[in-house]
Structure 1
Amino acid sequence: MRPASALASLHVAVALFGVAGLFGAWLAMSPAAIVLGRTLVAALALWALALATRVPARPVPGLALNGAVLALHWVAFFAAIQASSVSVGLLGFSSFPLWTLLLERLAGERRGRPRDWAIAALVVAGLVLTVPRFDWQDASVRGLAWGVLSAMTFAWLAVRNRRYARSHPARSIALWQNAFAALCLVPVVLLSPGAAAWPGAREVALLVVLGVVCTALAHTLFVASLATVSAHTASVVAALEPVYGIALAAWLLGERPTVGMLAGCALLVAAAVVASRGAGAPPGHAAGR
């Protein structure tokens, strides 16, 4: 793949990751049901791709826990969007560099450095600017809380996935994590109120697009671009996910971010860019985000 094509593929993949948040507003379903549909469709699409390319997606031991955390991550992400807005959900998720740094320090993989404190300060300031006031009755605060939980679980996956990414293909990791996530959510959805109401044709079509285009295709483009684009460049472009998502929410959903949200977005993107300097490829995207 030529450098220009690889960079274009990378931007398309990150934009598609950002588009995924819009489905939380488009789908009149619970977050758990949305994630079940997404992970099931994504796993089937990746399995079909493995068959079509004759590249076996061998089982990866130890991914059951990763799948459960991936399910929680996406449920929290869509709960954030449904509790508030796409913009707030994406901004809460964008705090993941802070949680990644903290987990790395707890695991003994990173020593405290001045840059780490700068990243933490940027993330905290960005989150504070996102909401007008910290009142649990405010939908923005509830949405931000769900978004931060989404970021924390994503950071956990990021740290844990590094171990698997060294010895297993990213496509296999994505396939089996999505499969285990779907398996975890089946009883949750079946035991939830309204479980007897099957999704209509519109919901099924949206879930197929979410699973195939915004998960399987986006992940494939992202991984393919890494063969040409440097890991640092990929990390910086991945930091644009909330920017793409907020812009698309304004265009397609009519959401108008406040000045505070835009300022918070700028600080959170800056934190992600600073965190990516000298780092490897964006961790956690092997989860199929």
Structure 2
Amino acid sequence: MASRNDYLKLHFIVFLWGFSAIIGKLVTIPAVEMVFYRAIMAVIGMGIVIVATKGTFAVTGTQLMRLLLIGAIVAIHWMAFFGAARVSNVSVSLVGFATNSLWAALLEPWFNRTRIKKFELLLGLVVIIGLYIIFSFDFQYKLGLALGILAGFTSALFSVFNAKFVRSIPAFTITFYEMIGVFLSIGLFLPVYKYTWATDNTLHLVPSWMDLLYIGLLAGVCSVYAYSVAVELMKKISVFLLQLTLNLEPLYGIIMAVIVFGNQEKMGVNFYIGTLIILGAVATYPMLKRKYDHLYAAKE
């Protein structure tokens, strides 16, 4: 059972992840190159933590391959999340990411071979309505929102996989190998990226000192610390509850983004109406789940 301290930890790392969108926006090199450096720093930092805490690097060959593949999913998540903020703004990126609870509601029962609850599908429909409202009023950041939604989907996907691994592998070990997976995936993707989406077919692999500082914060605080704590918390809380709490990230992030970037983050009325619908659907989940569990227990 999760304690009050566990819930405080969860909200703190959600706050950190909300701030990560702002840090990512401040980095001047493109999102793909930024994620590449973040992965390198995260691998080194996680390795130091494992050695300092006398943890273990031991995994089986099968576990290693699966963790590296999950790392590839994390790589897609990071590129989509930070890419969304670059082609639009932080607020749009975070609202697209808020769909992660919908994806978790669909993916977790599928992977665990349990029945999908009707109220979760209903909430998912409400989320889609909110997205439609945002898109339908001459919304100029369609690509940014689409990338944000991809970030939400991949977040739910790797959380479902990690919830299975954390039962048998230490959280730090999982994070270490998944960060290696991110690094390898981005490294293999760079040549393709260079001749397709990179500006002037050029890789920007020489960050400034300020870029290195920001990326170091992303790697140390938002990856090594926050990601490991999130994986560890999966022993005590469900994937859906984790993803549900992550939907506070847009609230934290949008408020901080307006403070930091000012007018760049101001959007039309339709954006905020759609956002309120999405977050309202998420906020009603605990009440509906409590009612569903009560009815189900009464039938038993």
Bin of the TM-score, shorter chain as denominator length: 0.7 to 0.9
Q: Write the deviation string for residues 113-145 of structure 1: whole angstroms up to 9, x where unpaired.
A: 32122221221122123345367xx3x111111
Does 1:89 pair with 2:87? no
Distance 1:197 1:131, change over 3 A: same
1:266 paired residue number: 276
Does 1:240 pair with 2:244? no
CA contact (8 A) 1:250 1:257 kept: no
Q: Distance in 2 between matches of 1:162 and 1:6?
A: 16
Q: Distance in 1 between matches of 2:274 and 2:175?
A: 31
Distance 1:153 1:222, change over 3 A: closer
Q: Write the deviation string for residues 207-261 of structure 1: whole angstroms up to 9, x where unpaired.
A: 101111122222345567779x866976654331111111111111112244333
2:227 paired residue number: 219
Give the unaligned 5+ runs of structure 1.
279-289
Secondary structure of the residue that 2:137 maps to in structure 1?
Answer: coil
1:129 paired residue number: 133
Q: Distance in 2 between matches of 1:50 and 1:11?
A: 24
Q: Which amino acid aligns with 1:143?
A: G
RMSD of aligned C-alpha atoms? Answer: 2.9
Q: Distance in 2 between matches of 1:226 and 1:66?
A: 16
CA contact (8 A) 1:101 1:110 kept: no
Distance 1:156 1:235, change over 3 A: closer
Q: Which amino acid aligns with 1:199?
A: P
Q: Distance in 1 between matches of 2:159 and 2:234?
A: 17
Report percent identity of matched pairs: 26
2:36 paired residue number: 36
Does 1:68 pair with 2:68? no
TM-score of the aligned structures, taking structure 1 as reference length: 0.82
CA contact (8 A) 1:134 1:141 kept: no
Distance 1:32 1:121, change over 3 A: same
Shifted more, 84-93 versus 122-131: the winner is 122-131
Q: Distance in 2 between matches of 1:30 and 1:114?
A: 41
State the shift of 1:86 in Å.
0.5
| 1:138-157 superposed matches below 5 A | 138=140, 140-157=141-158
Residue from 193, 217, 232 that aligns with 1:209: 217
Q: Distance in 1 between matches of 2:284 and 2:30?
A: 35
Q: Distance in 2 between matches of 1:134 and 1:240?
A: 26
CA contact (8 A) 1:97 1:275 kept: no
Q: Which amino acid aligns with 1:19?
A: F
1:14 paired residue number: 14
Q: Which amino acid aligns with 1:181?
A: V
TM-score of the aligned structures, taking structure 2 as reference length: 0.79
Distance 1:274 1:175, change over 3 A: farther
Q: Write the deviation string for residues 76-128 of structure 1: whole angstroms up to 9, x where unpaired.
A: 11111111110001111111222223334554623243212222122112212
1:249 paired residue number: 257
Q: Distance in 2 between matches of 1:266 and 1:175?
A: 37
State the shift of 1:31 in Å.
1.7
1:186 paired residue number: 187
State the shift of 1:176 in Å.
0.9
Q: Distance in 1 between matches of 2:128 and 2:246?
A: 20
Shifted more, 67-76 versus 217-226: the winner is 217-226
**Equivalent residues, number:** 273
Q: Distance in 2 between matches of 1:161 and 1:36?
A: 22
Q: Write the deviation string for residues 155-206 of structure 1: whole angstroms up to 9, x where unpaired.
A: 2212222221221122221111111111111243366233365112111111
Q: Which amino acid aligns with 2:120?
A: D
More helix by share: 2
2:296 paired residue number: none
State the shift of 1:66 in Å.
0.8
Distance 1:51 1:148, change over 3 A: same
Give the unaligned 5+ runs of structure 2.
195-200, 291-300
Q: Which amino acid aligns with 2:19?
A: V
CA contact (8 A) 2:97 2:152 kept: yes
Shifted more, 41-50 versus 103-112: the winner is 103-112
CA contact (8 A) 1:242 1:265 kept: no
